[in-house]
A = this chain, B = another copy of it.
Amino acid sequence: MTAHLYDLTLADGRRLSPYCWAAKLALAHKGVRFETTATRFVDIGKVAGGGFKTVPIVEIDGVTIGDSFELALHLERTRVDSPALFAGEGGVALTRAAAAQGAYLLGKMSRPMALAIHDGLDAETQAYFRASRERMFKAPLEEVSAEPEITIAAAREAMTPLRILLRGQPFIGGDSPLFADFLIAGLFQWARVVGAVDYLAGEDRIGPWFGRLEERYGATLGATAG
């Protein structure tokens, strides 16, 4: 059976959300076919019966799941013969640590990208995005995305633990990728789709790691416009 994912979109159809990318990689990893519906920020509350505030929203196995981590747990429970996403209880707990690291990175990486994301949205969605992000950052978007050389350097600094880790193993999950890889890869894919900052440039450990994921999930990562 085919799963259905409501996928955040820019005005031109390019798929945005790092957590949707993590969800799509998890589905691909488990061999689950899926279709996506391009969904604007302002329409999230209207799809899948309503009531969801964030994406991804995934209809699968007769249930609707509104969170990428919950989706990954569901996939691990229901697809035990497919490659693992967590590989045990310890893996689940420590993937929460990777998610915390990802949330921190998201905040850092988003600053120099914020205005470019805004500019890629339709007018109605721009108004929503500007209001919500300016509340979050406590500053106008023009200020958040000012001085990109400083904010990009801060984001690169925050990637240091990932660089240290990838000295010793090809994937965050060890010899093969786990959901922790997809959570972090979603961030780099999001940045790549927006295109304002090339975070993979000059990264001699993170770049090849992302390349290894592209080798495995090229069809998924290549579907940037849906």
A94–B180 touching, CB < 8 Å: yes
Please report which residues of chain A, range 167-202, place their CB below 8 angstroms from some CB of chain B when the two chains form the complex.
168-169, 171-175, 178, 180
A104 within 8 A of B: yes
- Bound Cα distance A43, B76 (Å): 49
In the complex, how many angstroms separate the beta carbon of A147 from the nearest chain B beta carbon?
18
Residues of A in contact (CB 8 Å), total 33
A223 within 8 A of B: no
Binds B, one of A7-15, A54-62, A80-88, A112-120: A80-88
- Within the complex, which residue of B88, B99, B169, B180 is in contact with A89, where a contact is CB–CB below 8 Å? B88
Q: List, in ascending order, chain B residues with CB within 8 A of A171's CB.
A: 93
Q: List, in ascending order, chain B residues with CB within 8 A of A95's CB.
A: 90, 94
Residues A101 and B161 in contact in the complex (CB < 8 Å), given A88-B89, A94-B95, A95-B94: yes
Number of copies: 2
A33 within 8 A of B: no
Closest partner residue, chain B, to A84 (CB atom): B90
Residues A173 and B93 in contact in the complex (CB < 8 Å), given A87-B88, A88-B87, A88-B88: yes
Residues A98 and B96 in contact in the complex (CB < 8 Å), given A89-B87, A89-B91, A90-B84: no
- Bound Cα distance A90, B94 (Å): 8
Closest partner residue, chain B, to A86 (CB atom): B90
- Within the complex, which residue of B90, B97, B104, B160 is in contact with A88, where a contact is CB–CB below 8 Å? B90
In the complex, how many angstroms separate the beta carbon of A184 from the nearest chain B beta carbon?
10
- Bound Cα distance A95, B104 (Å): 18
- Within the complex, which residue of B93, B162, B172 is in contact with A169, where a contact is CB–CB below 8 Å? B93
B94–A173 touching, CB < 8 Å: yes
In the complex, how many angstroms separate the beta carbon of A121 from the nearest chain B beta carbon?
27
Q: List 6 A-B contacts (CB under 8 A).
A: A86-B90, A93-B178, A94-B94, A94-B97, A96-B168, A104-B160
- In order of increasing CB-CB distance, the 7 nearest A-B pairs are A88-B88, A90-B91, A87-B90, A93-B174, A94-B94, A100-B165, A100-B164
